[in-house]
Amino acid sequence: MHTRLPEPNADERAHSDQLLLRLREEIAAHGPMPFSQYMHRCLYTPGLGYYSAGKAKFGAAGDFVTAPELGGLFACCVVNAVQPLLAALGDEADFLELGGGSGVFAEVALKALAASGTMPRYYLILEPSADLRERQRLHLAASLPAELNARVQWLDGPPEADWRGVLFANEVIDALPTTRFTVQGGEIYEEHITLDGNGHLQRTDRPADALVSGAVRHVERDLGTTFADGYRSELLPQLPYWIQAIAGSLTAGVMLFIDYGYVRREFYLPERDDGTLMAHYRHRAHNDPLHLPGLNDLTASVDFTALAEAGKSAGFDLAVYLPQAQFLIGAGLQDVFQSMQAEVMDEHGGYQLAQQVKRLMLPDQMGERFQAMLFARGIDALSLPDDLLTADQRGRL
């Protein structure tokens, strides 16, 4: 597997070795580390984690491409979907983006909101990475008119005071530190990371605590079956608490999550017996999360049934659930495409626009692999575009 991956340069390897040393020291001092904790260290350790260091993450120079990086179609459709609700909430409404990526989504969204005549009071970005926050700040300062850039604010944590507006998260939940579980002799075990006799990282399984065991048994009850011995997968027992933490103060508005994943019965198919965990390194996906810690993006697909349950437990109503392709169509993709096409100046621009549509819409690209879920609280969800409401597929959950 590793022979097919690009070799890191000396600086990258030294960076990974620094994080590896910290991991070894922590495991030596405290014993085997739950995989969720290991994933958190690999992604978010200050200065060393994947999202906390200076390495490029997004686009051709990074390790993967997100929908906003493809061009403006995606962000304009998101704005079309939520603009009626934002308008209904009035001048005091805010737009909160979780994890701002490179800042491209915020740029396009703010310009589209200004063109629609519906501006949020503030465009808030909750970005835990100081490195990404600075990149976003520089990009938006260079690409936005001063009056739009003045509305952008970065948060150190979720809003504490009550607020109204839109919360948007694209490819955020897949990066939450996931719990890996397995079944042995009918009992639930949790995957941990420990050290072998030579000090190398290795995986081991230990009896799960009550929280993890209870979460697995809940999934089994909902599926009406039990996992076979040796079955291994992921779940997020902390998801209800995370939703409450990020959106508990949202008194009136909507939450929109877009991510790759499945409904529960598809997530836990018998043949998917090693879960969905993946590592991404320079546009190559592999399945060894212990390889070059700190240089790989670690992700797991989203159980959208669990997300629906978590939103409901936080006091939100599920408004819409559907694949990304149907979401974009319902949010006016055709009109956005035609508008952008009219502005294309050359053949290359037209080709790039067509490529955006293909990546966003084709079933084997993002169209079916990615799903959209929209929650509402304190506002009439019927304000959503009619085409979105009629395409709703919550019955699949």
What CA–CA distance (Å, rounded) separates 189 from 185?
A: 10
* pLDDT in the model for residue 305: 98
Cβ neighbors of 258 (< 8 A, separation 6 or more) are: 67, 78, 169, 170, 171, 324, 327, 370, 371, 372, 373
What CA–CA distance (Å, rounded) separates 268 from 270?
A: 6
What CA–CA distance (Å, rounded) separates 67 from 359?
A: 8
The answer as to whether 11 is a domain residue is yes
In one-letter notation, the amino acid at residue 279 is A
- Residues facing 320 on adjacent strands: 374
In one-letter notation, the amino acid at residue 369 is R
- Token pair, residue 324, equals 């990304």
* pLDDT in the model for residue 166: 97
The answer as to whether 283 is a domain residue is yes
What CA–CA distance (Å, rounded) separates 122 from 93?
A: 8
The answer as to whether 295 is a domain residue is yes
Cβ neighbors of 12 (< 8 A, separation 6 or more) are: 55, 292, 295
Q: What is the largest CA-CA distance in the chain?
A: 64
Mean pLDDT, the chain, whole residue set: 91
- Report whether 376 contacts 316 (CB < 8 A): yes
- Residue matched to tokens 């909507």: 254
Q: Containing H/E element for 373? A: strand 370-377
The answer as to whether 396 is a domain residue is no
* pLDDT in the model for residue 57: 47
Mind listing the pLDDT tens digit for each residue in 242-273?
999 999 999 999 999 999 999 999 999 999 99
- Residue matched to tokens 């996906």: 285
* pLDDT in the model for residue 55: 54
The answer as to whether 397 is a domain residue is no
What CA–CA distance (Å, rounded) separates 394 from 391?
A: 9
Q: What string of DSSP letters covers 149-194? A: HTTEEEESSS--S-EEEEEEEES-GGGSPPEEEEEETTEEEEEEEE
* pLDDT in the model for residue 358: 87
For residue 263, the domain's CATH number is 3.40.50.12710
* pLDDT in the model for residue 350: 79
Nearest to 340 by CA among 316, 356, 327, 324: 356
End-to-end alpha carbon distance in the chain: 35
* pLDDT in the model for residue 54: 54
The answer as to whether 145 is a domain residue is yes
Mind listing the pLDDT tens digit for each residue in 33-45?
999 999 999 999 9
Specify the 3-state DSSP secondary structure of 237: coil
What CA–CA distance (Å, rounded) separates 334 from 340?
A: 10
DSSP state of 117: T
- What is the domain extent for residue 132? 1-391
Per-residue pLDDT of the chain (397 residues; tens, 9 = 90+): 455 788 888 998 999 999 999 999 999 999 999 999 999 999 999 889 998 865 544 444 444 567 778 778 899 999 999 999 999 999 999 999 999 888 999 999 999 999 999 999 999 999 988 888 999 999 999 999 999 999 999 999 999 999 999 999 999 999 999 999 999 999 999 999 999 989 899 999 999 999 999 999 999 999 999 999 999 999 999 999 999 999 999 999 999 999 999 999 999 999 999 999 999 887 788 999 999 999 999 999 999 999 999 999 999 999 999 999 999 999 999 988 888 888 877 777 778 888 888 888 888 888 789 999 999 999 998 888 999 999 999 999 9
Q: Rounded to the nearest 5 degrees, what angle is found at the Cα of 155, between the Cα atoms of 145 and 108?
A: 35
What CA–CA distance (Å, rounded) separates 34 from 234?
A: 12
The count of domains in the chain is 1
**284-286 and 33-34 strand pairing:** unpaired
Cβ neighbors of 340 (< 8 A, separation 6 or more) are: 72, 73, 76, 353
**163-170 and 250-262 strand pairing:** parallel
What CA–CA distance (Å, rounded) separates 148 from 310?
A: 34
Q: What are the φ/ψ torsions at residue 189 (nearest 5 degrees)?
A: -120, 150
- Residue matched to tokens 């060894």: 288
Mind listing the pLDDT tens digit for each residue in 73-85?
899 999 999 999 9
Task: Quote the pTM value.
Answer: 0.93
* pLDDT in the model for residue 56: 46
